[in-house]
């Protein structure tokens, strides 16, 4: 449904142009010092404002509604929310009958029998990832000393991201991008060999991010064209460190202690000014649509911190599962 995790369990709620959005975290350990200010660095990385992002402006300031007392987590369910203030629900009325190509308008209508909230894509909006980023802040604390960092490494098929964004803006079009995430000093032995491997857990969480269409770990799809002698990572010392890292820090679905490396493919934003053909379900005929309003030219610009959060949430859950079964490994 709208939850992820077995022990560190994250549930998101709200709609893009509803009154508020937020996240409920069940399984948050007690004793973590936490204040609204602790969330702002990551939440600000997700906000719009840079060239190629939506002009919609939200403060994104979190309210901690439960699970924290005297600035310390209690172990009870932790709820955070933020109010939506810069709303324009009327911009989306026509999409109920004329779905945007590439968007979730049509599937949302079918899934929820026509009752889906169409305002700003409702619960399908990237706005909902605010809750993932907020939960990711706590997950990163749980994972310490591991460090989770992601960056956009290409956009629109080229490494010159600024040029790619400028070209798309001039054309009224949108572009996607590739995000690389690295987790340094990861905890060893997390994951299970079959139904809950690390790759599966991270992928599950990452695909909760709207617009994500692909993921690869280590050498990824290049491994298919490599020989075993090229792909195998030779061990170099008693800590398990390897000479190369084609496995991306994971063997047999389990973390091996080397840096975890994966890359995510983010598709172009569906809402574009370029005229497109689609079907008018009200008039039952083909029509032309060019989308006006406030939309990201390149949603991947704001996604690295969301990818970090998704990975951290997955790994925090795996760590807490491992500790519940095996205790602290030291």
- The residues spanned by each domain of the chain are 3-326
Which has the minimum average pLDDT: 17-21, 55-59, 193-197? 55-59
Q: Two tokens at 241?
A: 């460190």
**Cβ-contact 308, 149 below 8 angstroms:** yes
- Using a cut of 0.75, tell me whether the model's pTM lies above it: yes
Residue 174 tokens read as 């949108």
Asked whether the predicted pLDDT for residue 261 surpasses 80, the reply is: yes
CA dist., res. 174 & res. 53, Å (int): 10
Nearest C-alpha neighbor of 12 from the set 297, 269, 308, 306:
306
> Side-chain half-sphere of 271: how many Cα atoms within 13 Å?
18
Q: Who contacts 163 (Cβ-Cβ below 8 Å, separation ≥6)?
A: none
Looking at residue 208, what DSSP letter applies? T
Query: Which residue shows structure tokens 């060239």?
Result: 51
Which tens digit of pLDDT belongs to each residue from 108-155?
Answer: 888 988 877 766 667 788 888 999 999 999 999 999 999 999 999 999
The number of angstroms, rounded, from the C-alpha of 25 to the middle of its chain's C-alpha atoms is 16
User: In the structure encoding, which two tokens stand for residue 106, read together?
Assistant: 């049509």
On the question of pLDDT at 330 being above 60, the answer is no
The encoded tokens of residue 99 equal 């779905």
Residues across the chain: 330
How far apart CA 173 and CA 268 sit, in angstroms, is 9
Helix intervals (H) in 10-128: 37-46, 105-111
- Of 215, 219, 240, 241, nearest to 230 by C-alpha is 219
Section 297-314 average pLDDT: 96
Are the beta carbons of 262 and 248 closer than 8 angstroms?
yes
CA distance 44 to 213: 24
Torsion sign (Cα): 303, 307, 312, 313: positive
3-326: CATH, from 3.40.50.300, 3.60.150.10, 3.40.30.10, 3.40.50.2300 = 3.60.150.10
Highest mean pLDDT among 51-55, 57-61, 124-128, 281-285 belongs to 281-285
Tokens at 307, concatenated: 């990818």
Residue 316 has pLDDT above 90, yes or no: yes
| Inter-CA distances, 321 with 67, 252, 272, 290, Å | 21, 17, 43, 48
34: helix, coil or strand?
A: coil
Q: Give me the residue label for tokens 């990551």.
A: 42
- Which position has the token pair 């001039």? 170
Q: How confident is the model at residue 211 (pLDDT cuts 50, 70, 90)?
A: very high
- Please name which of 82, 182, 75 lies closest in space to residue 129, comparing C-alpha atoms: 82
How is residue 64 written in tokens? Answer: 């901690």
Residue 211 to residue 219: CA distance in whole angstroms: 22
CB burial readout 79-93, b (16+ within 10 A) else e: bbbbbbeebebebbe
Contact 72, 32 (CB under 8 A): yes
Write the CA distances from 88 to 95, 217, 245, 299, integer angstroms.
14, 39, 47, 19
Give the residue-averaged pLDDT of 158-168: 95
* pLDDT of res. 283: 93
């Amino acid at each position: 449904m709208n939850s992820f995790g077995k022990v560190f369990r994250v549930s998101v709620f709200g709609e893009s142009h509803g009154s508020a959005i937020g996240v409920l975290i069940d399984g948050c350990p007690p004793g973590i010092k936490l204040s609204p200010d602790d969330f702002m660095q990551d939440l600000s990385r997700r906000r719009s404002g840079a060239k190629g992002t939506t002009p919609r402006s939200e403060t994104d300031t979190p309210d901690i509604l439960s699970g924290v007392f005297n600035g310390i987590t209690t172990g009870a369910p932790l709820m955070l929310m933020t109010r939506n203030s810069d709303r324009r629900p009327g911009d989306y009325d026509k999409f109920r009958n004329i779905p945007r190509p590439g968007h979730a308008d049509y599937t949302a209508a079918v899934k929820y029998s026509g009752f889906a909230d169409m305002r700003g894509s409702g619960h399908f909006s990237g706005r909902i990832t605010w809750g993932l980023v907020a939960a990711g802040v706590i997950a990163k604390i749980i994972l310490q000393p591991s460090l989770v960092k992601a960056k956009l490494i290409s956009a629109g098929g080229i490494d010159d991201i600024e040029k790619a964004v400028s070209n798309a803006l001039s054309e009224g079009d949108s572009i996607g991008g590739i995000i690389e995430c690295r987790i340094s000093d990861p905890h060893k032995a997390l994951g299970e060999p079959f139904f809950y491997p690390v790759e599966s857990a991270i992928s599950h969480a990452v695909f909760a991010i709207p617009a994500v269409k692909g993921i690869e770990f280590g050498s990824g799809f290049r491994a298919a064209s490599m020989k075993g002698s090229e792909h195998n990572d030779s061990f170099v010392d008693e800590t398990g460190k390897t000479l190369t890292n084609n496995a991306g820090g994971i063997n047999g679905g389990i973390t091996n202690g080397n840096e975890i490396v994966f890359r995510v493919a983010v598709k172009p934003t569906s809402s574009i000014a370029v005229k497109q053909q689609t079907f008018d379900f009200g008039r039952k005929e083909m029509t032309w649509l060019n989308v006006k309003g406030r939309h990201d030219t390149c949603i991947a610009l704001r996604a690295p911190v969301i990818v970090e959060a998704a990975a951290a949430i997955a790994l925090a859950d795996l760590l807490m599962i491992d500790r519940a079964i095996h205790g602290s490994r030291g």
